[in-house]
């Protein structure tokens, strides 16, 4: 990604326009799924994947698919880099992401009963925000 694209994405991210559009698209996809549930028009069981998100963003904002792909990939890359740096990501009205650290422990192999050491690990954790919870339960 070029420097100009990075500056543009940074500016848009600060104002929340990209995140707002992505969440609006996810909401529209949810409504589409609810309306099309009887026919189940998706071959993969109603799961929105990355390419569908990119297509929805491109359609909603009238930008080329390649530009929408760059925006979505940049958005995810920025989130991954923030989490890797130990930062918490909070998107108002949607939720927050953080890394939880788990200590190592002594476990057992369920098949053999043998004692094994489980290494410590860091895992991403998502907590839904109040507005998202209320929206899902309306």
φ, ψ at 103 (rounded to 5°): -70, 155
Task: Provide the pLDDT for residue 8.
Answer: 53
Where are the alpha helices (H) located in the chain, listed in sequence order? 3-15, 17-35, 50-61, 65-84, 130-136
* pTM listed for this prediction: 0.61
Q: What is the pLDDT of residues 25-45, one digit of tens each?
A: 666 666 555 554 444 444 456
**Residue 138, token pair as written in the block:** 């309306």
φ, ψ at 123 (rounded to 5°): -130, 140
Using only C-alpha atoms, what is the Rg of the chain? 19
Q: What is the DSSP string of 36-60?
A: TTTTT--TTSS---HHHHHHHHHHH
Cβ-proximal residues to 64 (8 Å cutoff; 6+ apart), any chain = 58
Residue found by looking up tokens 């929340």 in the block: 16
- Which 3 state secondary structure label does DSSP give 137? coil
**Domains in the chain, start-ordered, CATH in brackets?**
1-87 (no CATH), 89-138 (4.10.520.10)
Task: Provide the pLDDT for residue 28.
Answer: 64
4-42 as b/e, with b when 16 or more CB fall inside 10 Å?
Answer: eeeeebeebeeeeebbebbbebbeeeeeeeeeeeeeeee
Beta bridge partners of 97: 89, 126
Q: What is the pLDDT of residues 76-112, one digit of tens each?
A: 999 999 999 999 999 999 999 999 999 999 999 999 9
């Amino acid at each position: 990604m070029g420097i100009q694209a990075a500056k543009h994405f940074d500016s848009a991210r600060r104002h929340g326009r990209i995140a707002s559009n992505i969440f609006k698209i996810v909401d529209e996809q949810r409504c589409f799924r609810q309306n099309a549930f009887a026919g189940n028009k998706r071959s993969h069981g109603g799961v929105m994947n990355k390419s569908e998100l990119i297509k929805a963003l491109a359609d909603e904002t009238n930008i080329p698919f390649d530009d929408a792909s760059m925006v979505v990939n940049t958005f995810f890359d920025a989130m991954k880099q923030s989490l890797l740096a130990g930062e918490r990501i909070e998107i108002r009205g949607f939720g927050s992401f953080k890394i939880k650290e788990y200590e190592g422990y002594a476990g057992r192999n369920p098949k053999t009963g043998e004692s094994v050491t489980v290494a410590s690990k860091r895992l991403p954790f998502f907590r839904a925000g109040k507005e998202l919870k209320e929206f899902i339960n309306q």
